[in-house]
Amino acid sequence: MADSPLTHFHQDGSARMVNVSQKPITLRTARAEGRVIMRPETLELIRNQSISKGDVLAVARLAGIMGAKRTSELIPLCHSLGIDSVELQFEVLEPDQVRIESVVQVQARTGVEMEALTSVSVAALTIYDMCKSVDREIRISDIQLLEKSGGKQDYARHQE
Protein backbone atom coordinates (compact mmCIF):
# COMPACT_ATOMS: atom_id res chain seq x y z
CA MET A 1 0.00 0.00 0.00
CA ALA A 2 1.39 3.44 -0.96
CA ASP A 3 2.19 6.14 1.60
CA SER A 4 -0.87 8.12 2.56
CA PRO A 5 -0.73 11.92 2.12
CA LEU A 6 -2.80 12.08 5.31
CA THR A 7 -0.49 12.46 8.31
CA HIS A 8 -2.71 10.64 10.82
CA PHE A 9 -2.71 7.27 9.02
CA HIS A 10 -0.17 4.48 8.70
CA GLN A 11 0.46 2.93 5.29
CA ASP A 12 -2.08 0.20 6.12
CA GLY A 13 -4.77 2.81 6.80
CA SER A 14 -4.79 2.50 10.59
CA ALA A 15 -4.95 5.70 12.62
CA ARG A 16 -1.89 7.09 14.36
CA MET A 17 -0.79 10.12 16.32
CA VAL A 18 1.85 12.09 14.44
CA ASN A 19 5.30 11.83 16.02
CA VAL A 20 6.44 15.42 16.66
CA SER A 21 9.48 14.54 18.79
CA GLN A 22 11.94 15.65 16.11
CA LYS A 23 10.29 19.02 15.50
CA PRO A 24 11.81 22.10 17.16
CA ILE A 25 9.99 23.82 20.00
CA THR A 26 8.82 27.20 18.73
CA LEU A 27 6.22 29.76 19.66
CA ARG A 28 2.96 28.59 18.06
CA THR A 29 0.00 30.94 17.74
CA ALA A 30 -3.43 30.39 16.22
CA ARG A 31 -6.35 32.79 15.84
CA ALA A 32 -9.88 31.60 15.09
CA GLU A 33 -13.33 33.15 14.97
CA GLY A 34 -16.99 32.25 14.91
CA ARG A 35 -20.38 33.91 15.14
CA VAL A 36 -23.49 33.34 17.20
CA ILE A 37 -26.61 34.66 15.48
CA MET A 38 -29.77 35.28 17.49
CA ARG A 39 -32.87 37.42 17.71
CA PRO A 40 -32.10 41.11 18.36
CA GLU A 41 -34.06 40.85 21.63
CA THR A 42 -31.73 38.09 22.82
CA LEU A 43 -28.66 40.14 21.99
CA GLU A 44 -30.12 43.00 24.00
CA LEU A 45 -30.60 40.69 27.00
CA ILE A 46 -26.95 39.63 26.74
CA ARG A 47 -25.78 43.25 26.50
CA ASN A 48 -27.84 44.20 29.58
CA GLN A 49 -26.78 41.07 31.49
CA SER A 50 -30.46 40.18 31.83
CA ILE A 51 -30.23 36.46 31.03
CA SER A 52 -31.35 34.51 34.11
CA LYS A 53 -28.25 32.27 34.09
CA GLY A 54 -25.91 35.24 34.55
CA ASP A 55 -23.26 37.15 32.61
CA VAL A 56 -23.30 35.23 29.33
CA LEU A 57 -20.07 36.55 27.87
CA ALA A 58 -18.08 36.15 31.10
CA VAL A 59 -19.15 32.51 31.38
CA ALA A 60 -18.54 31.93 27.66
CA ARG A 61 -15.01 33.35 28.04
CA LEU A 62 -14.23 30.88 30.84
CA ALA A 63 -15.76 28.03 28.86
CA GLY A 64 -13.67 28.93 25.81
CA ILE A 65 -10.49 28.94 27.87
CA MET A 66 -11.39 25.57 29.36
CA GLY A 67 -12.21 24.23 25.89
CA ALA A 68 -8.77 25.19 24.56
CA LYS A 69 -7.06 23.53 27.52
CA ARG A 70 -9.02 20.28 27.06
CA THR A 71 -8.93 19.98 23.27
CA SER A 72 -6.84 16.80 23.32
CA GLU A 73 -9.58 15.10 25.36
CA LEU A 74 -12.14 15.90 22.67
CA ILE A 75 -10.32 15.56 19.34
CA PRO A 76 -8.86 12.11 18.63
CA LEU A 77 -5.11 12.11 17.90
CA CYS A 78 -4.71 15.74 18.99
CA HIS A 79 -1.56 16.27 21.08
CA SER A 80 -1.93 17.27 24.70
CA LEU A 81 -0.36 20.72 25.12
CA GLY A 82 0.45 22.89 28.10
CA ILE A 83 -1.27 25.99 26.75
CA ASP A 84 0.58 29.21 27.59
CA SER A 85 -2.19 31.69 26.75
CA VAL A 86 -5.81 31.83 25.62
CA GLU A 87 -7.42 35.18 24.89
CA LEU A 88 -11.10 35.42 23.94
CA GLN A 89 -12.74 38.57 22.66
CA PHE A 90 -16.42 39.13 22.01
CA GLU A 91 -17.70 41.73 19.59
CA VAL A 92 -21.39 42.62 19.50
CA LEU A 93 -22.45 43.07 15.89
CA GLU A 94 -25.80 44.81 15.71
CA PRO A 95 -28.52 43.86 15.36
CA ASP A 96 -28.23 40.13 16.06
CA GLN A 97 -24.72 38.67 16.36
CA VAL A 98 -21.84 38.06 18.68
CA ARG A 99 -18.47 37.53 17.00
CA ILE A 100 -16.05 35.41 19.02
CA GLU A 101 -12.30 35.51 18.45
CA SER A 102 -9.78 33.29 20.20
CA VAL A 103 -5.99 33.56 20.17
CA VAL A 104 -4.06 30.64 21.62
CA GLN A 105 -0.30 30.47 22.18
CA VAL A 106 2.11 27.77 23.26
CA GLN A 107 5.82 27.00 23.12
CA ALA A 108 5.65 23.52 21.59
CA ARG A 109 6.49 21.15 18.76
CA THR A 110 3.00 21.28 17.29
CA GLY A 111 0.47 23.98 16.54
CA VAL A 112 -2.62 25.17 18.39
CA GLU A 113 -5.12 25.52 15.54
CA MET A 114 -7.44 22.91 17.04
CA GLU A 115 -7.24 24.61 20.43
CA ALA A 116 -8.24 27.99 18.96
CA LEU A 117 -11.10 26.44 16.99
CA THR A 118 -12.28 24.44 20.01
CA SER A 119 -12.11 27.56 22.16
CA VAL A 120 -14.42 29.43 19.78
CA SER A 121 -16.75 26.44 19.46
CA VAL A 122 -17.12 25.91 23.21
CA ALA A 123 -17.67 29.63 23.82
CA ALA A 124 -20.36 29.67 21.12
CA LEU A 125 -22.06 26.58 22.56
CA THR A 126 -22.02 28.20 25.99
CA ILE A 127 -23.76 31.29 24.63
CA TYR A 128 -26.38 28.99 23.10
CA ASP A 129 -26.80 27.05 26.34
CA MET A 130 -27.21 30.16 28.46
CA CYS A 131 -29.71 31.78 26.08
CA LYS A 132 -31.71 28.81 24.77
CA SER A 133 -34.54 29.38 27.24
CA VAL A 134 -35.33 32.70 25.52
CA ASP A 135 -34.27 31.90 21.94
CA ARG A 136 -34.25 28.40 20.43
CA GLU A 137 -33.45 29.83 16.98
CA ILE A 138 -29.85 30.74 17.87
CA ARG A 139 -27.35 29.65 15.19
CA ILE A 140 -23.64 29.07 15.45
CA SER A 141 -21.89 29.99 12.22
CA ASP A 142 -18.63 30.56 10.37
CA ILE A 143 -16.17 28.95 12.78
CA GLN A 144 -12.84 29.20 10.99
CA LEU A 145 -9.11 29.52 11.40
CA LEU A 146 -7.95 33.06 10.63
CA GLU A 147 -4.23 32.62 10.98
CA LYS A 148 -1.49 30.53 12.52
CA SER A 149 2.21 31.02 13.00
CA GLY A 150 5.14 28.97 14.18
CA GLY A 151 6.38 25.70 12.85
CA LYS A 152 7.16 25.04 9.20
CA GLN A 153 4.51 27.18 7.58
CA ASP A 154 2.53 30.23 8.60
CA TYR A 155 -1.04 30.70 7.36
CA ALA A 156 -3.40 33.66 7.01
CA ARG A 157 -6.92 33.38 5.64
CA HIS A 158 -7.53 35.63 2.66
CA GLN A 159 -10.06 38.27 3.62
CA GLU A 160 -12.84 38.84 1.13
φ and ψ at residue 30, rounded to 5 degrees? -140, 145
Based on DSSP, count helices (H) and strands (E) in the chain, helices before strands: 4, 5
Tell me the DSSP string of 92-119: EETTTEEEEEEEEEEEESS--HHHHHHH
Measured in residues, the chain has a length of 160
Helix H or strand E encompassing 35: strand 26-37
Cα–chain-centroid distance for residue 138?
Answer: 18
Q: How many CB atoms lie within 10 A of CB 36?
A: 29
Q: Which residues are known to be catalytic?
A: 129
Give dist(CA 60, CA 122) in Å, integer. 8
